[in-house]
Structure 1
Amino acid sequence: MPETYVITFHVKVDQVARFHALLGPVLDAMRDEATFVHAALHVDPDRSDVFQLHETWIDRSDVLNVQLQRPYRREWHAALDDVLAAPREIAIWRLLRSDARPQA
């Protein structure tokens, strides 16, 4: 059953550009993973240094044992202590319902 990882980042103000530069290639690479479903990055409209990432994956075991170990994530993970003002907040959610406007 797919799960969504909701990750909140409090980024140091002077590290916002680096945050984007490091995360962008990770998000681009994730698209090609077999168990990947969807990702969306959000920014707090009142705090431009607070972000929330929603990543949906099919298999938790694959995320923990394979995806987090991918080489394209190394630089990202290594930089987190320098980029973040506080530890990431991670929550796991399962979808109960999804609604979207039909495409014309």
Structure 2
Amino acid sequence: MPVTYVIKFQVVPERRAQFLELLNGVLDAMRSEPMFHEAILHRDPSSEYRFMLYETWESHEDVVNVQLQRPYRRAWHEALPALLEQEREIETWEPLRADHK
């Protein structure tokens, strides 16, 4: 069953460019994964340093056991403590309906 993750980030202001560079590399690599559905990166209109990532995958088990172990994620995961003012907020959701134009 597909799973959606809603992940919120509060980025250290001086690390915004590095945060986006590393995250964009991960998002670009994820696009070719067979279990990947979609990802949308949002920025809080009231803060240049607050982001929300919405990503959907085919399987939570695949994400935990395979995707999080991918080599292209290593630099991203290692850098996160220095990039963020606080821990990420991660929520898991099950999609019921999708409408696209």
TM-score by length of 1: 0.94
Distance 1:18 1:26 in 2: 13
The equivalent of 1:56 in structure 2 is: 56
Distance 1:24 1:95 in 2: 24
Look at both structures and tell me which one has the larger radius of gyration over its CA atoms: 1
The equivalent of 1:2 in structure 2 is: 2
1:56-76, Cα deviation, whole Å (9 max, x unpaired): 000111100010000000000
Question: What is the Cα-based RMSD across aligned positions, in Å?
Answer: 0.7
Which consecutive aligned stretches of 4+ in structure 1 deviate over 3 angstroms post-superposition? none
The equivalent of 1:35 in structure 2 is: 35
Alignment length (residue pairs): 101
Matched, 1:77 2:77: yes
The equivalent of 1:88 in structure 2 is: 88
1:51-103, Cα deviation, whole Å (9 max, x unpaired): 000110001111000100000000000000000000000000111222233xx
TM-score by length of 2: 0.97
